[in-house]
Amino acid sequence: MPSVAQVTADHYKAQQTLARQTVEQAQTLWARVQPAAVVDSWIAQLAEMIRVLTLGQAGAAAMAQPYVEALAAAQGIPSAAGVVNAAAFAGIAADGRDLAGLLMQPALRTLGVLATGADDQTALLSGLESLTRIVDTEISDASRAADHVGMVANRRWVTYVRHVTLPACGRCIILAGRTYSWSQGFQRHPRCDCTMVPHHEGDTPPPSPEELFAQMNEDEQARAFTVSGAEAIRLGADMGQVVNARRGMQTIAGGRLVTTEGTTSRGYAGKKLGDLRKVRGERYRRSQVVRPMPEQLLADARDRDEAIRFLERFGYLDRTSVRRRERAGAAAVSAAAVRRDAEDAARRQRDAEANARRQAEETRRAAEQARREAEEKARREAEEKRAAEDAARRAAEAARWSPASTMTHEQAAAMQRSMPAWTRTQRDALQDYTGGWAGPVNDALRKGKPIPDRFADLRNAVTNLAAAVHPLPRPVTVYRYVAPDAFGRGRTRADKLGNLVGRTLQDRGFMSTSLARSGHTDPAGQMALGARRQVLMEIDVPAGARAAYIDEVSVHPGQWELLLGPGTKYEVVEVVQDGAHTVVRVRVVP
């Protein structure tokens, strides 16, 4: 759970971020102001500026409820029953007037600067500075007011402390850590970004003025307290006296800087200086001893010891403030040591976490590498298993499929000469078939309808071709390349023919086949019987099947064509993949 300090720091950062974003939007709108028409051009942007500032106020106020709830949780006390209404803090200025009147001030200030004869850029920058101060202050006031309401709603909180975040001005620093009643208003100046922290018994107190001063370098001290004021504080002057003295500062004859602040009977300096007398118009007696400013005393002193005496004489330095400064310095040193120890512990923790992350990453990478190696090994084993299975399947297929007979062209030609000789009409029909009649003949036969009388030539060709095929005296294995639809309409993929195994199909037409399995060409380069198609039919033709070896009468000799008779039936024995082709092995049914 975050500590009170962490909750406070986070709330401060969130409020500052919102204020910065709102200021940036305001700057964008101010950039549209025209020097020649300051009021009119700013009035044109006024509605949008009011909307932007209202949203900023509402956003700042909306942070109050989560803030006080987180503080209550960090302090271990119950949350309040009421909830801060953020909308109530938006749309009006912190002093109760409407935003339109307040936001016209930058334009009026710009006109005033222009009236003095300043150039346009200087005047616009002056107006922008006024607008920035207004927006920043209103966002901070809305945030503080909402925080205060959220604190009041919780009865466990009866006081709050002022929390100052560096860099800050001297007026804020001297109030750091001061405790106020829950009902007391928050003292602030324009652009003050101090915050209030509800106090609960046991809380670590916020940094005191002395601790904040000890945390600052000399340049930061000089910016907050002036160069001479910071030097006086380092010499031991009371910080509050140095800051408050500037309220009554004046220059007397001779150019000496003096002040009347704190010189009444109620002030520390007045009691220290003495010579108290009643002054007309004032309630309390005032010392008649002139009180120089710290920088005047430092200028007058001849050495450090004299400077310390002067500061003590005129009420800027007392021994208790020196002791407080010493304690604050020691506390700052101690806090710095604690902070260094905490930073070292945090660094060691980060290093340990980084080392743990590295080890976890190395373990993850090793596990990932082992997983990849195991997957690769499993993949290789699976591939080897598939290869072995494929080899076994091919061996089984080879054992199951035994071609009837391979036959050379010369053997086939001799076989044909041993069969009944063709008549002249039959030879002509066979030659015409290879020359262009194959398509019309097979189309007519595969339709399964009688050929009309008007196609007498076609009918005679079919008759003569059927008479030219005779039973083979010996078996032979032949080949035919086809498209998938040769096995039925609708078949378009060669890899989907496996369901044909065991079925008996019939080709009503003549079936052209070749003794060549693939790649055989004649001397003229003619590819053997459709070898460019996807499916290779490997056909086992038994003795007795009607066929004719027609290479010697073909118009394309060298294709080694064996023509199977019409109506050939065949049984699909198996379907296998062989490279780019699907092989369908069939056996002709006599």
Neighbour count for residue 502 (Cβ, 10 Å): 9
84 occurs within a structural domain: yes
Displacement of CA 93 from its chain's centroid (Å): 40
Last residue of a domain, one of 187, 207, 227: 207
Q: Average pLDDT over the chain, rounded to whole?
A: 80
Task: Show the tokens assigned to 322.
Answer: 């020196």
Contacts of 324 (CB under 8 A, 6+ apart): 210
| Residue 520, domain CATH | 3.90.176.10
Contact between 205 and 262 (Cβ < 8 Å): no
Final residue belonging to a domain, choices 160, 190, 207? 207
Question: What are 350-380's pLDDT values in tens digits?
Answer: 888 888 889 989 988 999 999 999 999 999 9
| Window from 74-83, 256-265, 557-566 with minimum mean pLDDT | 256-265
- The whole-number average pLDDT for the span 137-164 is 78
Domain boundary among 207, 225, 243: 207
DSSP-assigned states of every residue in 9-27: HHHHHHHHHHHHHHHHHHH
Q: What is the pLDDT of residues 438-481, one digit of tens each?
A: 888 888 888 877 777 777 888 888 899 999 999 999 999 999 99
Position 488 scores a pLDDT of: 80
d(CA 568, CA 473): 17
Q: Is residue 9 part of a domain?
A: yes
- Residue 10 within any structural domain of the chain: yes
Q: Which residue has the higher pLDDT, 57 or 148?
A: 57
Any domain includes 290: no
Which pLDDT score, from 0 to 100, does residue 175 have?
Answer: 80
Classify residue 283: in a domain, yes or no: no
Evaluate if residue 322 carries a pLDDT over 60: no
- Return the pLDDT at 587: 94
pLDDT at 560 over 90: yes
The verdict on residue 367 lying in a domain is: no
pLDDT at 167: 81
pLDDT digits (tens, 9 = 90+) for 210-247: 888 888 898 888 888 888 888 878 877 778 777 766 55
Q: Which domain holds residue 504?
A: 409-589
Q: Which span out of 67-81, 157-171, 441-455, 544-558 was modeled with the highest average pLDDT?
A: 544-558
Q: How far apart are CA 273 and CA 288, in angstroms?
A: 8
Would 504 be classed as within a structural domain? Answer: yes
- Give the best-scoring range by mean pLDDT among 6-20, 151-165, 508-522: 6-20
**Structure tokens belonging to residue 289:** 């001893």
Cα atoms in the 13 Å half-sphere on the side-chain side of 564: 30
Separation of alpha carbons 151 and 199, rounded Å: 10
Extract the tokens encoding 38: 């300051």
Indicate the burial class of 159 (C-beta count within 10 angstroms; 0-12, 13-18, 19 or more): middle
What is the signed CA dihedral for 151, 156, 162, 164, rounded to 10 degrees? -80
SS3 content of the chain, % helix, strand, coil (to 5): 55, 15, 30
Q: Are 296 and 334 in contact (CB under 8 A)?
A: no
- Sheet strand arrangement including 561-564: 470-471, 546-549, 561-564, 511-514, 476-482, 535-541, 581-589, 568-578, 504-507
Query: Which of 7-11, 483-487, 578-582 is the least confident region?
Result: 578-582
| 546 has pLDDT over 90 | yes
Asked whether 500 and 487 are in contact (CB, 8 A), the reply is yes
Instruction: Assess if residue 271 is contained within a domain.
Output: no
Sign of the CA dihedral with 293 first, then 298, 304, and 305 last: negative
Total tally of structural domains belonging to the chain: 2
Provide the pLDDT confidence category of residue 311 given band limits of 50, 70 and 90: low
